[in-house]
Amino acid sequence: QMQLVESGGGVVQPGRSLSLSCAASGFTFSSYGMHWVRQAPGKGLEWVAVIWYDGSNRNYADSVKGRFTISRDNSKKTLHLQMNSLRVEDTAVYYCAKDVRFGSGTYWIDYWGQGTLVTVSS
Amino acid sequence: DIVMTQSPDSLAVSLGERATINCKSSQSVLYSSNNKNYLVWYQQKLGQSPKVLIYWASTRESGVPDRFNGSGSGTDFTLTISSLQAEDVAVYYCQQYYTTPRTFGQGTKVEIK
């Protein structure tokens, strides 16, 4: 069955970097767009970034643009999120999520991982 | 960016009664070329990842009970739970996929009265 397993979360100081990964299985990873969505403790969902199935198109939330980079390795069925210049307000559970749309473009998320917690604190 | 605003922030409903959640977008999410509303509803239970309930504003995801219904068009949408069950206690989010950045509503917490 479909599985998305995030890793790389932890505690990091403000201004430092952290890299998240998401290992996908149970579906043809290379055919679907992928998202990162985050949720601060006790707060709502915030969309972070999306990447098309082939990596040709990427979009970001204004709050992370210029600091975060989404990427994918289709040969390894892995999604990445490189987070630089981290801020206290980036503290959240980060979810890796699969888009429902096959091929070009993206629609809604049809499957979510369990999330990995990133804490930015001095 | 499209701003999604849900109301109310929380509601308490008796078992078997109707729960209604509203979602308003700051601009239309109706794509005129295909007449589809690019609006999805998610349910998030405590300690779990979100789960899709409704897409295209009114199409129920496979396996979702028929007491969940989505309606609306353009900028105003509604999620209705026709007869609230104990397992429906959760936070519900709307999200637009009309454009990027994708944006969520702030969430509506549904509890049992």
CA-CA distance, A74 to A92, in Å (whole number)? 26
B53 three-class SS = strand
Cα separation values, A46 from A13, A26, A69, B107, Å: 22, 26, 16, 11
Write out chain B residues lying below 8 Å of A113, CB-based: 49
pLDDT digits (tens, 9 = 90+) for A43-100: 999 999 999 999 999 999 999 999 999 999 999 999 999 999 999 999 999 999 999 9
**At B55, which helix (H) or strand (E)?**
strand B51-55
Instruction: Name which of B9, B49, B77 to mutate to probe chain A: the one with the most chain A Cβ atoms within 10 A of its Cβ.
Output: B49
Do A53 and A103 touch, CB atoms closer than 8 A? yes
CB contact under 8 A, A47 and B91: no
- pLDDT by residue for chain B (113 residues), tens digit each? 999 999 999 999 999 999 999 999 999 999 999 999 999 999 999 999 999 999 999 999 999 999 999 999 999 999 999 999 999 999 999 999 999 999 999 999 999 99
Size of the A and B interface in Cβ pairs below 8 Å: 52
Instruction: Name which of A108, A111, A116, A117 to mutate to probe chain B: the one with the most chain B Cβ atoms within 10 A of its Cβ.
Output: A108
CB atoms within 10 A of CB B32: 7
Instruction: Name which of A1, A57, A63, A109 to mutate to probe chain B: the one with the most chain B Cβ atoms within 10 A of its Cβ.
Output: A109
Query: C-alpha angle with apex B76: B23 to B16, nearest 5 degrees?
Result: 55
Q: Is the CB of residue B69 less than 8 Å away from at least one CB of chain A?
A: no
Q: Is the CB of residue A117 less than 8 Å away from at least one CB of chain B?
A: no
pLDDT (0 to 100) of residue A59: 97
Residue corresponding to tokens 């929380």: B10
CB contact under 8 A, A110 and B42: no
Q: Which residue does chain B place closest to A106, by CA atoms? A: B97
3-state class percentages of chain B: helix first, strand second, coil last, to nearest 5: 5, 50, 45
Do A103 and A34 touch, CB atoms closer than 8 A? no
Q: Is B16 left (phi over 0), alpha (psi -120 to 50) or beta?
A: left
Cis ω on the peptide bond leading into residue A41 (within 30° of 0)? no
Q: Is the CB of residue B36 less than 8 Å away from at least one CB of chain A?
A: no
